[in-house]
Amino acid sequence: MEITIAKREKIKIPILVTGASGSGKTASSLIMAKGIIEKMFPKLSEEDQWKKIAVIDTEHERAKYYADTELAGVHIGEFYHANFEPPYNDKALMQGVNELKKMGIEVIILDSLSHLWSGKGGIQDIVDDIQRKNSKAQMTAWNKVKPNINNMLHTLTANSIYIISTARSKTGYDMEKNDKGKVVPVKVGLQPEIRSGWEYEFAINFNINQDHTAEAVKDNTNMFDGVEPITKETGYKIYEWSSEGVDPEEERQALIAKVQELFNLDDENKRTVVGWENQSNIKFEHWDKNQLRYAISNLHKIDSVVKLPSNKEQTTQSFEEVPSKQKESEKMGMAEQFERATQKA
């Protein structure tokens, strides 16, 4: 347990936008993203601002419908588009996000998270496949996909850029009076089509109604308490709130540099880091600060090398006397601790 003084940090807020089909999740997310980018890069041309936004699209490339259109008084320009086809798994998502980050993208819209839950190759699909192959694996199947879930949520909620995820809500109908006083059925969004509890992993969860108004059903920023459409001003507020405090990315980059230094120190460190990368399915350049600090504290350091006594033969014997099982136990302990550090993300 690490104890430090609590400081307000700059953070790229992870956002979830839910709603029934036709409520305007994708359009609202694009408008919000534009507001974030306008505040982040006020000197860029509008065309170049849109080049800072990308959509990872699982919805049969429907996000392309919005390019070069007018929505709620906002011109939607030409943004980057990544067609995400099955299998919808955490590795493909992470690869796509990292490729877009290398291109200089600052806001990614994942449209939609529902496919990573219930689509082909998604979490439910993996669990069903395990259970079909082994009828006794009804409970253990969920343990096997836990690393997939952790990696996916880590990519979406602990990133160095803004990521807006959308999720379909199951559709229901309610009876309401229309403008003429007549009671008519109205489509409403119910529970989002993601695993129960995932919505709590995001800092803000906007739920969009069929009239395109949005309510922040969860808001760690305490900025949104009404029911109103998502606009560019929504993005302005999010960027301004996110920009207050110290920059954690600067600290993270310093930690990455230290891990790189230790990585280059000797072959044992290289093997250890590669093992942790394989365990977490994340390259160390993308680890969070908890993982990086753990690595630094456990990797072999040049200043911690034990100087050999003059009696070389005696030293060799003492190393040989270390039981192999003890060595293996130490490695296992470090692997388990790194797994815990990964799950904190």
DSSP string of 113-147, one letter each residue:
THHHHHSTTSHHHHHHHHHHH-TT-TTHHHHHHHH
Mean pLDDT in residue range 212-237 = 96
Mean pLDDT rounded to a whole number for the chain: 85
CB 141 within 8 A of CB 130: yes
Q: pLDDT, tens digit, for every residue of 57-66?
A: 999 999 999 9
Confidence band, pLDDT 50/70/90 cuts, at residue 56 = very high
Mean pLDDT in residue range 110-122 = 97
Flag whether pLDDT at 300 surpasses 70.
yes
* Dihedral pair phi/psi, residue 187, rounded to 5°: -70, 135
Mean pLDDT in residue range 233-249 = 90
Strand partners, 169: 192
Flag whether pLDDT at 321 surpasses 60.
no
pLDDT of residue 339: 64
Confidence band, pLDDT 50/70/90 cuts, at residue 336 = low
pLDDT of residue 162: 97
Q: Which domains, ranges and CATH numbers included, belong to the chain?
A: 15-242 (3.40.50.300), 248-343 (no CATH)
If one compares 12 and 247, the residue with the highest pLDDT of the two is 12
Confidence band, pLDDT 50/70/90 cuts, at residue 120 = very high
If one compares 255 and 344, the residue with the highest pLDDT of the two is 255
Q: pLDDT, tens digit, for every residue of 10-46?
A: 889 999 999 999 999 999 999 999 999 999 999 999 9
Confidence band, pLDDT 50/70/90 cuts, at residue 218 = very high
Mean pLDDT in residue range 225-252 = 91
Flag whether pLDDT at 203 surpasses 80.
yes
Least confident of 94-103, 209-218, 274-283: 274-283
Confidence band, pLDDT 50/70/90 cuts, at residue 182 = confident
pLDDT of residue 44: 98
pLDDT of residue 176: 66
pLDDT of residue 310: 41
Residue 70 token pair: 């007018």
pLDDT of residue 149: 96
Flag whether pLDDT at 78 surpasses 90.
yes
- Tokens 């136990």 correspond to 329
- Tokens 């990585």 correspond to 263
Flag whether pLDDT at 312 surpasses 60.
no
